[in-house]
Structure 1
Amino acid sequence: MNTNPSPWRLSATSWLWPKSLSENLRRIASWKLPVSEVALLFYQHAPSLAYLPKEFEPGRGLSSHVHLPLDLPWDDGPRAVWELLDRLMAVPGALSPWGGVLHPPAQPDRLAGVARIWREAAPGWRLMVENIPGQDLRAHWPVVQEYDLPVCLDVGHQMAFDQDWLLDAPDLFERVELVHCYAPGMVKQRHEHLSLTELSPSQRRIIKGILARLGPDTRILFEVFSESDLRGSLETFYALCRELSQESGAK
């Protein structure tokens, strides 16, 4: 299971075991799986800023990206949000994340303010906006286009919250640089982060259709939070890749 049958770089979350961040990174960096990137889960800004450089050292050899906090100070204006994002992206030090995943605020103009500063600052890392529950990016799409923002496509949110419009949005797949890949469960308007082994037949078809449209430079994050769910997801992902290859060869 150490051979990646797809063209995409595969990622795991930085929380697969109930251990410290450094221990999770050490285990991910040392195992014999085709996972070469880690998603650093900076869900809250204060504890994320408190990480020390030495806590990232065990992950040397991995590439990384950051899931940016859910508690950003949007009410304080775009400059305050940007300064916090800039500080957070510097925290991993040697792991040098290539991008950050942002949950967009409800108001598109607030996203526009931060996007403008990101463009002007040109920090060397990618600011990706994610489709989330209650924000399918429809209202934000003019901002995405104006500032040429990349997108993190969360397939679980897309399926669970009926965000079908997004898959037909203008130039979506040219913008998708990261995919959050997992099974969301079967209850509409709710979602879980389950192994891909839990996909229904219709959900398998949706994910397979998404994979068929991705560019080769896109990253795939299995957004699950245990080693067993990651291993199960990898096996299902391999099967989907084989099916895609067979279907492509049959055409």
Structure 2
Amino acid sequence: MTCKRALTAYPELLSRTVAAPSWVMPGTVRDNAIFLSGEVDEVGLCFFETAACLAYGENDLPEHLADLPLGWHVHLPGDLPWCDGGAEAAVPALRLMDKVAFLGAHRAVLHPPVGFADGAARLVAFVRAWEAAGRNPEDLCLENIRGEDLTGLWRTLCDLGCKVCLDMGHVLSYGQYGLLSLPGLSGRTSMLHANAPGPGGRHLSLDTLDGAGCGVGRAMCALLPDDAVVMVEVFDWEGVRRSLPLLETWFAAQR
């Protein structure tokens, strides 16, 4: 078993799967992954922009990354072409998943379509294309984002068999508290994005939260199944590190 240095002081976190983004310091995905392999359990590949990430080559994603003691998941781009339809949006998403198949990455975080009267139908078409490619809808984690707190898509999401990625910063930024009382949310949540909201949409470390924010964070941690991924979605290592003590406290409070 590989010792994860960042987690050794936190017994509650050691019993969970803790992830960090593939961008916590300047450098390539490769550089960040090599560093993180000694610190956390899993890396979330930040494929935020479709064209740039499809262009990644051997320097960014060398084959030897598969030898690192890490799990992997993909954060699919925020610029998928939903305007062309759900099946069309799935095309680059599936290409990106195929690109990192050598890492064993199956799970993906997806921003749902926003601003469409037929958003649910577009999501259905995306998931059908995902299934047609031989992938499991349970590996798709829909994230609550600005303009879409998932409450309007809940029945569709459940019928499709998708999972949920709860984003703490978005709940706090956009007042998405209704999401937390959806029926069956706990059993459908497979990932937490742990971060504090900052100016301009920045993701800050959890130690910047006030008392009310900490209360929401604690409640969100209480919703997580034991096998959910705890993704500290802060894009600098010091911020990730400073977030761990609060997460440890919140999970310990459930005992």
Structures share fold, TM-score greater than 0.5: yes
Aligned partners of 2:212 and 2:149: how far apart in 1? 20
Supply the AA of the counterpart residue of 2:205: S
**Matched residue, 1:228:** 238
Q: Deviations over 1:110-153 (max 9, x none)?
A: 11111223234432571111100111112211210211110111
1:175 aligns with 2:183: no
Instruction: Using the aligned pairs only, state the percent identity.
Output: 33
| 8 A contact 2:65–2:103 mirrored in 1 | no
| 8 A contact 1:51–1:91 mirrored in 2 | no
**Matched residue, 1:11:** 19
- The alignment yields a C-alpha RMSD, in angstroms, of 1.9
Aligned partners of 1:65 and 1:217: how far apart in 2? 14
Supply the AA of the counterpart residue of 1:73: P
1:76 aligns with 2:81: no
Aligned counterpart in structure 2 of residue 150 of structure 1, from 132, 144, 163: 163
Structure 2 residue ranges without an equivalent (≥5): 1-5
**Matched residue, 2:130:** 118
Q: Deviations over 1:20-57 (max 9, x none)?
A: 1111111111x3x3x11001000111111111256333
**Matched residue, 1:103:** 111
Aligned partners of 1:240 and 1:150: how far apart in 2? 23
Q: Match of 1:55, SS?
A: coil
Range moving further from structure 2, 192-201 or 77-86: 77-86
| 8 A contact 1:119–1:147 mirrored in 2 | no
Q: Match of 2:196, SS?
A: coil
Structure 1 residue ranges without an equivalent (≥5): none
| 8 A contact 2:196–2:206 mirrored in 1 | yes
**Matched residue, 2:247:** 237
Aligned counterpart in structure 2 of residue 47 of structure 1, from 26, 45, 52: 52
Number of equivalenced pairs: 239
| 8 A contact 2:222–2:251 mirrored in 1 | no
Using the size of structure 2 for normalisation, the TM-score is 0.87
| 8 A contact 1:39–1:65 mirrored in 2 | yes
Aligned partners of 2:134 and 2:190: how far apart in 1? 17
Aligned partners of 2:24 and 2:158: how far apart in 1? 35
1:170 shift after superposition: 1.4
1:100 shift after superposition: 0.8
Q: Match of 1:229, SS?
A: helix
**Matched residue, 1:130:** 143
Aligned partners of 1:145 and 1:230: how far apart in 2? 31
1:184 aligns with 2:194: no
| 8 A contact 1:53–1:91 mirrored in 2 | no
**Matched residue, 1:205:** 215
Using the size of structure 1 for normalisation, the TM-score is 0.88
Q: Match of 1:39, SS?
A: strand
